[in-house]
Amino acid sequence: MSLLEDKNAVYLFTAYGVILGAMAVYLAALWLRRRNLDRDDELLRQIEEEQQGK
């Protein structure tokens, strides 16, 4: 019997989907946090430059 014909294959594919999906979500969360930090960094730099200019 091939993998796809087994009645339990749906559990197998769901489990791997869950694990890979969770890792992808965490990776996306890391990317979003990094992007937000880049924005904060840029904003702070502008404020610091303005303060130094005063």
Partner 1 sequence: MESVLPTSVSAAHSRSRESLTRAIGVAAAGMLAVALVMVFVLAPSGDVRSGGEAQRIFYFHLSSAWIGFGAWLVTAFCGVRYLQTRDLQWDRRAHASAEIGVLFITTTLLSGMLWGRPTWNTWWTWDFKLTLSALQLLMYLAYLMLRGGLENVNQRARFASVYGIVGALTVPLNFLVSRVLQSIHPAVFGPSVNAAQQGGFGVSMDRVVILIFCLVTFTMIYLFFFRSRVALLEREDALAARKAALLDAE
Q: How far is the CB of 53 from partner 1 (least distance, A)?
A: 13
Residue 46 makes contact with partner 1 by CB under 8 A: no
Contacts of 12 (CB under 8 A, 6+ apart): 3
Interacting positions 1-40 with partner 1 (CB under 8 A): 3, 6-9, 11-12, 14-16, 18-19, 22-23, 26-27, 30, 33-34, 37, 40
Return phi, psi of residue 37, to 5°.
Answer: -65, -35
Euclidean distance between the first and the last CA atom of the chain, given in angstroms as a whole number: 77
Paired tokens of 1: 């019997």
Residues in the chain: 54
- Contact residues: partner 1, CB under 8 A: 3, 6-9, 11-12, 14-16, 18-19, 22-23, 26-27, 30, 33-34, 37, 40-41, 44, 47-48, 51
